[in-house]
Every structure is written in structure tokens, then in C-alpha cells.
Chains A and B, each alone.
Chain A
Amino acid sequence: MDKSSQITQNGTLMSENQNTTPSSLSDVAAKRAEAKVAGTSPLGTGLEARGVHAWFDKHHALEDVSLDFSAGTVTALIGPSGCGKSTFIRTLNRMHEFIPRTSMAGQVLLDGKDIYEPGIDVTKIRLQIGMVFQKPNPFPSMTIGENVLSGIKLAQLKVDNHEDLLEECLTRAGLWTEVKDRLSAHAGGLSGGQQQRLCIARALAVKPKVLLMDEPCSALDPGSTLRIEETISQLSKSMTIVIVTHNMQQAARVSDYTAFFLSDGGPGQMIEVGPTNEIFSRPRDERTENYVTGRFG
């Protein structure tokens, strides 16, 4: 059994109750797998990481991660702190290179083309692969409306109707009804959960194919968390989503596939990946089982 496994798009599910894992997790995951319609949406070939490594200076932080994120799916990355999940997700939209003295190896393919190809315009890549961060970070000097459209402005994209786009993005992010009367108010006045949904709307405005989410709910209250999870489910119908999360219940609730990362003191590695309900009910690797049953981490 090797560490990097290719997942194919499938709809088959196994919903057996296991006694090694908390039954609730696998149940939740199983329900989700049921609810998801098997089949594909016409979204291209999705995002694929092949043999990705990452270094901070000389420190080898991530080793040989290969994952295929099929179009229209939600993949959760789980694992204890410090095992490279955030580093990995940042190699997917070329944010890793902002930290000084970093390097990487491997390929990340979007629709079959390597985003690290020399000569490529990285800003165009980031328009197609969006990111939502752990701490909500709307631009405080802009109004709510300006925040949502900021990506359009920064990329100088042509948009026929700004108001329609604004309404569409805020609706998809689940924020429209709450802010539709105060689009000219400053973004700083919103609550944490609202700010995060604003950031999601902002990311959606440039119509990305992939949305990366780095622990988007860890700074929020449970009510906002659930709303955002609903949003994720809705969004997955039209784009690929990769979400890093510490919360296994969350992974079970929102994701189709789950990948488990672990570091044994050395570089972080992707131990196992599979359909979520399988990972939680019948993980193949002992370390995965230890983690999802709460024996560590």
C-alpha cells in the first residue's frame, strides 16, 4: 500500500457501522456520500498535485504529496498541527513562495497544465485558484461592496453589471440578506462570521475554479461555522474545494474525500486519502485510525 493513492470519481458507498471509530463520524460521512449525486459536473479536470515537496530554507517541511482533486468535489485535509497541511495548501495557489527563502519541487496541475511553469503569469493562476484564510481578512479601508468587488478591480476584469455580480456572490456566500441594505458600510463593522462570509464572497467574485480554505471556521462561533459549512456544500456544486480542518466532525460533515497528513518529526507526509466515510470508518493505515479515534492529536 503506497502513500499516494489515486482516487477516482466514484459514487459507491459503504455505510457499515464500525466499532473502532465513533460511529457518529462515519455515519455523518456516509450520509453525505449518499446525499451527493454520483457523477460529474462539467468542470474540467480539476486540480492535481504530483510529488509536491516544500522547504523552508533548508528545513524539509513537506514530502512527496500527490493528490488529485476531482472537479466538483470537496476534499478535507486533516491531521495534527504542524504536519504540513497549511504548507501544502499554499503550494496549490503559489502562496508558499511569499515566505522568504522557501523552495518546492513537484508539479501542481490545473486543467492539466503545471501552474509552476516558468513564464506563467502567477496572478492569473490565483484568479482561478482562490483562497479563504483562517482569520477573516476583509480590507478595512473599503466598504462591503468594494470588498466583494476588490478582486475584480485588482485584476482589472471586465464586468457587465457590478450590482448583479455583487448580489450573486453575496448570495452564494450566504450573506446577501444580512448586508443588502448596507453595502456602503465599512467592512469592519461585521461580526467574525459575517466577515468570513464576506471573504468567501470576495473570493467568488473572480469566478475561481478551485477554492482553497485554510481552517476557515477555526476562529468562528459554532453558528457561523454551520452557516459556512452550508455554503461550502452549495459551492461544491460548481467548483472544487479543498479545506484544511482540525475539526474531524467538520471534515465528516462537508467533505467527499479526506486526506490524512502526519509528520513523525521529519517532513510532513500524506499518509492516506480516500472517501470520507471510509477514512473515518475503515482507515487502512494504523496511524490514520489512531488519529480519527482520538488517540492522539
Chain B
Amino acid sequence: MSIDAPVKVTPEARKITTKPRVSDQIFRGIVTAFSFSALLILSLIAIFLLLKGFTTFKEQGLGFITHFEWSVTQDEAGKEVAVFGLQAMLIGTVVISFVALAIAVPLSVLTALFLTFYAPERVKKVLVTIVDLMAAFPSILYGLWGFFVLMPMAEYWAKLIQKWLGWIYIFDVPQGVYSRSPFIAGIVLSVMIIPIITSVSREVFSQTPLDRIQAAYALGATKWGMIRAVVLPFGAGGVVGGSMLGLGRAFGETVAVYSVLNIVFRTNFQILFTQGGNVASMIIQKWGEAGKTEISALMAAGLVLFILTLIVNFFANFVVTRAVKSGR
């Protein structure tokens, strides 16, 4: 009898199964079904807007996005002639959103830094409550405030800016009318998006690894030196993500913008001048008197807006999750 060296055999792992009880299967079924309602709703939105807007897409083609004119007229034969082009409104949306970001991002980052690194306990609690409060204000309140309270002040600031910086194209104006401008709409939007950018920035700043912070201080850094060397590089991704979330919110804002912006179908980069628009408020503006063709166009516009915000939010969430999770 030969004795072989014992061979080690690893047994195959057993498959663990369980047969769930019927009541549990029902439970899981119901819960799963309801969870997919999100998918259902989003798809339905896309489908119905597409359906109702289809005639517009068919007739206008790609011009829907690239043309500048929006009008419904009748030609000599009494037939309706419609031209629908969103270009001006799309550009307008981007313009006011970028004005909003230019104001909101620095203010939010500063506030987030203040809250995370400088504020004493009691001040911090108060300021955090204030920022949360901002998030709770209804958008129409921002519209009211923007029109009656902010606009007079902002017109004065606009005049100052035009006086000193008017040699730069975007700060110049063809005529001295400063009310209801993209500048003012941008300020109102910025106040609306500051809470979300601040809260994401705060979250990411507070996760800065303590050992790097200590390394900086141990080298004799001042608080600001430490923030520049450690916190800002670490938190940059989160700030970008938060800003994109704010951008997504700004794209879709309706009544607040409508109250403080003069909606005109012309591209306007001179933000101090009373001319601009965004897709959402344009839809509101045209809705009241819209005939059937125009309603179809507005549906199509809604679909474009929907897809646009979906894309921005998708990227924003991606960036934020990556920044918040990873220990970069």
C-alpha cells in the first residue's frame, strides 16, 4: 500500500438557497413594482411630450433648436404659418444660469469654508438654519422679492457696472434700460441655488482627511495656508458637482425668472440690458394664448428642457457621488 502525500482538496462552496414564503414574495413584488414607478413616470414624461410635440419636431426639424424666430402668423391664403425656434431661449437659459453660477459659486464656497473652518458653534448653527431656510422658500417668493426689492437695487448696480466696465461687451448696453435683465434674473437664480451648492461643498469640506490637515499645520501653515494646500484640492470635485446640481436647478426655474426677466426672442449677451429669456419661463409666457400648433411647439420645448436638465443632473450626481465617496 503506497501512501501518497495527502492532497488538499477544497470542497466546492455550497449554493445557499432559500425559498421565500409566499407573503414575502408578494411583499417583494409590490415593493419592487412601486420602485419602478420612477422609471415609469420618467418614461411617460418623455413619451407624452414627444407624442404631443411630434408635429412640431416633424415640421421644424432640427431648426427647432437652431432657429431664432418664434411666431405664428397667417399668410395670404389664411393658412397658418408657424416658425418655432428655441435657439434664443436656449442661449438665454445658459446666459442667466452662468451669471447665477458666477455669483453663487464663490459665495457658496466662502460660506461653506466659513461654516466648516471658521464659525464658532453658535454662529454655525444659526447660519446653517439660515441656509436651510433659503432652500425652503417657494420660487414665487423669489419672484416677488426679485421684482419689488432686488430690482431697484440691482438696476443701480447695473448702471455702476456699465459706467466702469462698459468697455467690455457683455457689460455694455444698447440703450439705458436696465430693468428685467439677465443680470437681475441671474442674481435671483443665484440666491436660489446657493443652498444646494453650499450644502454639497460643506459636506465635502468636512470630510477632508484630518491627517493631511494636521500635516499642514505641523509645517507651520496658517489656517488659510492649510485650506489652500489641503481642503481646496480635496474638495474641488465636490464643489464642481454641487455647482452642476445648482446649474440643473437654474435651467428649469420658471416663475422666479418670469417675474424679473423681459422675455424677448433675441440672443442677448449683454446681461445688463433688458432682454433675455429661458425655456421654462417662455413656455409659461406663451401658454395662455397658444393655439393647437403652438401648444405642440411648447410641448416640444418642454421635452428639450426635460432632456437638458436630465443630462446636467446625471453628470452632476455622478461627480458628486464620486467626490463624496472617494477619499481623494
Contact = CB atoms under 8 A, between A and B. Distances in A.
Report if A and B associate in a common complex: yes
B219 A137 contact: no
Given A137-B209, A141-B234, A150-B216, 14 more contacts: A95-B214, A123-B220, A123-B221, A126-B219, A126-B220, A127-B220, A138-B215, A139-B230, A142-B229, A154-B222, A154-B225, A155-B220, A202-B215, A206-B220
Contacts, number: 66
A133 B211 contact: yes
A206 B220 CA distance: 9
Contacts of A151: 219-220
A199 B234 contact: no
A127 B218 CA distance: 8
B212 interface: yes
Interface string A238-269: 00000000000000000000000000000000
A98 interface: yes
Given A139-B229, A139-B230, A154-B225, A202 B219 contact: yes
A28 interface: no
B252 to A, nearest CB: 34
Interface residues of A, number: 27
B156 interface: no
Contacts of B219: 126-127, 130, 150-151, 154-155, 202-203, 206
Interface of A: 93, 95, 98, 123-127, 130-131, 133, 135, 137-142, 150-151, 153-155, 199, 202-203, 206
Contacts of B216: 139, 150, 154
Of B214, B219, B222, which is in contact with the most chain A CB atoms at under 10 Å from its CB? B219
B interface secondary structure, majority: helix
B29 interface: no
B67 interface: no
Contacts of B222: 123, 154
Interface of B: 209, 211-212, 214-222, 225-226, 229-230, 233-234, 328
A130 B211 CA distance: 15
Contacts of B234: 141
Contact of B220 (A138, A154, A199): A154
Q: Which of A130, A133, A141, A142 has the most CB of B within 10 A?
A: A141
Contacts of A153: 229
Query: Sorted from nearest, which 8 A-B pairs have the closest CB atoms?
Result: A141-B233, A151-B219, A127-B220, A126-B220, A131-B218, A154-B221, A137-B211, A137-B215
B218 A95 contact: yes
A56 to B, nearest CB: 16
20 contacts: A95-B217, A123-B221, A126-B219, A131-B218, A135-B211, A137-B211, A137-B215, A138-B215, A139-B212, A139-B230, A139-B233, A142-B229, A150-B229, A151-B220, A154-B225, A154-B229, A155-B219, A155-B220, A155-B221, A203-B219
Nearest to B221: A154
A249 to B, nearest CB: 26
B227 to A, nearest CB: 11
